[in-house]
Structure 1
Amino acid sequence: MKLGHYATMITSMYFDDIKDFINLEIGVKRFQGNMERFHFNPIPLDEYSRRFFPNIETFHIYDEYDDEIFDDGKIFKYVIWFLVEYPTYLKEKEAGNICKNIIYTEDDREKYGNTIPSEVSIIGHQCFYNCEELTTINIPTRVNKLWDFCFEGCSSLTSITIPPLVSFIGDECFNLCYSLKSINIPPLVTELGIRCFYGCSSLTSINIPLAVIEIGKDCFYGCSSLTNMSIDKVHFISENKIFMNEPVLISIEIPYNLQIINGKNIEKKNINEFIIPSSITMLGNSCFKECYSLSSINIPTTVSELGRKCFKWCSLKSINIPTTITTFGSSCFYRCGCTEELKKNERIPRDCFKKLHYRSTDETTDE
C-alpha cells in the first residue's frame, strides 16, 4: 500500500522535528512538496524552519515562552495551545484567534460570576474557595481538571456533576463541603488527592472508578454518613487512614492487588466484614485494632506475617490461622474475642496475648 499526499500530511503532523520533515522529502521523491501543502505549522518554528512552510495561514503557538511567533503578512489567525486565563481568551477571541486550554480562576469568578463559561477546560486553584452561598453548579463538558482547593469550604453545595473528561481532582478539592450528599467520579480519574473529601459529613455514597489507583491522606476523613464505597482496583492508599474512626462504614472490600494492609489506612471501629484478597502477604501493625464489630475473618494462605496489635480488642468469634503465617507481632491477639480458642494453637507465641509495653521513649505505652 502506498501513502498518498494527504495520508503523508496526516502522518507527518506527528513529527517532532524539522529534520524529520526534511528527511521525508529527501528520502522519497514523490513526497516532495509535503511541507508546502501545510496551511498551519504542525511543529514550533524558528527563522530557519519557517521558510520550509511557505503557505501557513493559521499559526499554532504551542509554548508560551519558547515558541517564536511570526507575523509576516500571510498569517491571519493564531491557535494558542498553552494555558490562558479567561480574560486572555476573551481578548484573543475578539482578535479572531483560538485558545485551546482555558483556566477559570478565583479572580475570574469574582469578576465574571459563578457560572463557568462553556469554553473553560480547567477550574483553577481555589476558584470557588469558601463560596458558602453556592448550592449547585454546572461544570462545562470541556473541563478536564479540577485543581487544588477548587470547591473547598462550599458548605452549602449539595450536589455536583463532574464531566466525563475530568482526569484530575486536586488536593482538598471538596474539603469541608458539609452539605455534599452525592458525587460522581469520572472514569478517567486515577487519583483522589489529599483530604479531597475531608469533612464531607453528608456524603452517603461515592463511586470510585476502576482507573483510581491512589487515595490520598485523609481523603474521606470526617465523612460520617458514608456507608457505601468500593475501592476494588486501588493499589496505593496513603499511609494515614483515609476513613474517620467512626461507626458508619460497616463493610469494605480490600483491593485485590494490595500486598500489605496497614491499620492506619483503613481504621474503622465498626467495620463488621473484611474480604482479604489473595495478593495480601502481610497484615500490618494495628491492622484491625479496635474493630469491635468484626466477628469473623478469613486470612488467605498468602499471608505470612501479622503485625503488632493486629487484632487487638476485636470481637472475633472465629479466625483461621494458616500455616503460612510464620511471624506473629506482639499483642496481635490482645483482648481478642477468640483468645481462648487461639491459645490452643501452639504455633502462636504467648506474647501475642499480652499487652505490649514499649521500652523506647519514642513510642507511648499502649493500653
Structure 2
Amino acid sequence: MGKDKEKTKDIITEVPKRKVKLTVEEVMRVLDCFVKKEDFIRSLQISKKFKDIPKRYSYNPISIDSTTISLFPNLKVQKLYAWNDTQIPKMKKYEVEYPETYFHYYLKYFAIRDKVSARKIVYSSEDRVNYECMKGEGILPDGITKIADKCFEECNKIVSLNIPTSVTAIGRNGFANCTSLTSLTLPENLMVIGDNCFLACNSLTSIKLGTTNCFKGKASYGIYLFLEKNNIHCNDVFYSSEDRRKYGNKIPEICNSLADKCFASCLSLTSIEVPSTIQHIGSRCFEGCKGLKQISLPPTINCYDHAFSGCSYITALTLPGNFPKIDKSIFENIQMIKSIVLTDCTQFDGLVSYSLAVIIERGGIPCTNVAYTEEDRKVFGENIPKGVKEVGDNCFSGDFRAKSITVPKGVTKLGQSCFKNCCSLTSVSLPSSIISIPVSCFYQCPVLKTLKIKNKTLTYEKYCFYGCEKLKLKSKNIPSECFSKEPQPDDKTKK
C-alpha cells in the first residue's frame, strides 16, 4: 500500500506548465463523469491546484480496489460501478450504481445489508418465483426500481397488486395475459411502461396512478389508449413498431415522436404522411423500406442519422427548411433523388452534399453549407466546385486518377482520410481558410511531393502524413504521430 501511495503521488505531481481557467468545483463535476482511472489521473495533471482534489472526495467517482484506494484518503462511501468491483472493508456505506436483479443483490450484499443501498434493482420473473415462495403471491419487495420484461406474464392467480413507490419502470409484457388481474395501483413516479405491458388483461377494470392520475413518462400509442381508457392521462406519446403492426401505417396525430426502427423493413410502404404533431424521428425509423419513393416531412421534425437507410428508391423529398442535413447518412442512395422541395425557407443552412445542393438551388433556394462527398466526386470529378464549404470524409480516398488538386477558397474543413491512398497524387494546394489537417488525411500518398499551405498556424492530427515518402514539409512543429502508421484491428487486439 505504501508503494502504491508513493506512485500515485508521483503521478499527480507531474504537472505540465500551462494556464488553466477551470475552477476546482468545475473540474470535480467533470471528473464525476469519468470511468477510467487513467483519464481521472490525467485530468489532475492539468494544473497544480488540481492535485489535492482527491482529498475532497468522500466517495469514489471511479471504480477502485485495494491498489487505488490511496487516491482517495478521505473515502467514507464506496460506490460500486460494476458487479466485479472489489468491496473495500470497513467502509461506512456502500452504494450499488449498476443494475442488479433483486435476489442477486439480496444474497451478494446480505452480510452488509445495513450499510448498502442501490438505485437500480430489477425484479425479474425468477425473483418473483423465489419471493412468492417466501411471502406469497401478489406481494412485491420494497426497494426495487424496475419490473423486468415478462415478469408477471401469464400469472393467472394474481387478482390485485400494489406496486412499490420505488418502481420507475415496467418492462415489455410486464403483466401480459394476467387474465385474473382486476385492480392495479401504479406508483406516481412511474416513468416507463413497456409495449404490451397489459396485453390481454381483460379483467383489469381498476387502475390507480398516484393522486393526479397523470402519467409523467413517455408511453407508446397502445399504452396511451389503455391508460386513457382507465382515465389516466398521458401527454408524451410515441408510435412504436408494435403499434405499427397493430394499428397500421397511419400515424395518429396524438403522437409526438416515432420510435427507433418503427417502420423498419416495411416493404409494402410506398408513401408516408407524417403529421405535424411529430417532432422527432428515431434512429433507423424507416430503414430498409425499399418500396418508399416519396417522403414529405412537416416543419416540426427533428431527424436522427440513418432514419432512411436502405430506402434505395426514394426519388422525391419534401422537407422543412430547418432540416439538419441532407446527405448519405440519412438518405442512402442519393443518386436516385430527382426532386427536393424545402418548405418555409428562403435559404438552406443545413449540411447538404453538392449533388443535392444542385437540385435544391434549381428551385431558387441557395445552400450555404455544402459538402463535397465521395459520391459527388464520382459524379462530378476531381475538381472541387466553388461554393463548397467542406470536403467530406474519404472523399478522394483510393482515387488513382487524381494527380493535382487545388482546394478552392471558402473551404473550411477537410474530412478524415480525405486523400487517403491516392497513389497518383503529386501536389495539393490548400487555402488559408483550412485550419487543420485531419486524421489520416494524406495517409499512404507515396508520390505526393508538394503541399502548398497558406495558413501558417495549421494543426496536424495523427497519421495524416504516414507513407508520404517524397513530401518535404517546411514546418518543424509537426507532431511525430503524424508520420505514424494507423493501427489496424489486429494491432488493437494484441494490445
Q: 1:107 corresponds to which residue?
A: 126
Q: Which runs of 5+ in 2 are unaligned?
A: 1-20, 208-212, 265-273, 280-296, 300-317, 319-495
TM-score (norm 2): 0.40
Structure 2 letter corresponding to 1:28: S
- Pairing 1:179–2:203 present: yes
Q: Quick one: percent identity of the two aligned structures?
A: 28
Whether the aligned pair in 1 keeps the contact of 2:237 and 2:255 (CA below 8 Å) is: no
Distance 1:179 1:70, change over 3 A: closer
By percentage of residues, which structure has more helix? 2
Whether the aligned pair in 2 keeps the contact of 1:129 and 1:152 (CA below 8 Å) is: yes
SS in 2 for 1:213: strand
Q: 2:49 corresponds to which residue?
A: 30
Relative contact order higher in (CA < 8 Å, ≥ 6 apart):
1
Matches within 5 A, 1:35-50: 35-45=54-64, 49-50=68-69
Alpha-carbon RMSD across the aligned residues, in angstroms, is 4.3
Distance 1:74 1:130, change over 3 A: closer
Q: Render the CA deviation track for 1:47-90: whole Å, top value 9, x for unaligned.
A: 6644322333332111225x4x153x454543222222223333
- Taking the aligned partners of 1:203 and 1:14, their CA distance within structure 2 comes to 39
Structure 2 letter corresponding to 1:58: V
Distance apart, 1:120 and its partner CA = 0.8
Distance apart, 1:93 and its partner CA = 5.0
Whether the aligned pair in 1 keeps the contact of 2:254 and 2:277 (CA below 8 Å) is: no
| 2:100 maps to which of 80, 84, 107 | 84
Distance 1:70 1:107, change over 3 A: closer
- Pairing 1:98–2:98 present: no
| 1:55 maps to which of 74, 78, 94 | 74
Q: 1:214 corresponds to which residue?
A: 239
Distance 1:218 1:24, change over 3 A: closer
Distance 1:49 1:165, change over 3 A: same
- Pairing 1:233–2:251 present: no
| 1:141 maps to which of 165, 183, 206 | 165
Q: 1:130 corresponds to which residue?
A: 154
Distance 1:233 1:173, change over 3 A: same
Q: 1:245 corresponds to which residue?
A: none
| 2:184 maps to which of 160, 173, 177 | 160
Distance 1:30 1:74, change over 3 A: farther
- Taking the aligned partners of 2:244 and 2:139, their CA distance within structure 1 comes to 27
- Pairing 1:188–2:204 present: no
- Taking the aligned partners of 1:197 and 1:120, their CA distance within structure 2 comes to 24
Whether the aligned pair in 1 keeps the contact of 2:153 and 2:176 (CA below 8 Å) is: yes
Structure 1 letter corresponding to 2:216: P
Whether the aligned pair in 1 keeps the contact of 2:95 and 2:116 (CA below 8 Å) is: yes
Q: How many residues align?
A: 239
SS in 1 for 2:45: helix
- Pairing 1:117–2:133 present: no
Matches within 5 A, 1:198-347: 204=229, 209-217=234-242, 231-235=254-258, 255-257=275-277, 279=298
Whether the aligned pair in 2 keeps the contact of 1:235 and 1:255 (CA below 8 Å) is: no
- Taking the aligned partners of 1:148 and 1:128, their CA distance within structure 2 comes to 10
SS in 1 for 2:126: helix
- Taking the aligned partners of 1:124 and 1:258, their CA distance within structure 2 comes to 29
Structure 2 letter corresponding to 1:181: T
Q: Render the CA deviation track for 1:191-238: whole Å, top value 9, x for unaligned.
A: 45xx7699x7x983565633222244358969xxxxxx9824254696
Distance 1:90 1:46, change over 3 A: closer
Distance apart, 1:166 and its partner CA = 3.1
- Taking the aligned partners of 1:3 and 1:104, their CA distance within structure 2 comes to 43
- Taking the aligned partners of 1:220 and 1:205, their CA distance within structure 2 comes to 23
Structure 1 letter corresponding to 2:98: F
Whether the aligned pair in 2 keeps the contact of 1:190 and 1:211 (CA below 8 Å) is: yes
Distance apart, 1:153 and its partner CA = 1.6
SS in 1 for 2:96: strand
Distance apart, 1:151 and its partner CA = 0.8
Structure 2 letter corresponding to 1:211: D
- Taking the aligned partners of 1:197 and 1:10, their CA distance within structure 2 comes to 38
Structure 2 letter corresponding to 1:38: Y
Q: 1:151 corresponds to which residue?
A: 175
Structure 1 letter corresponding to 2:204: L
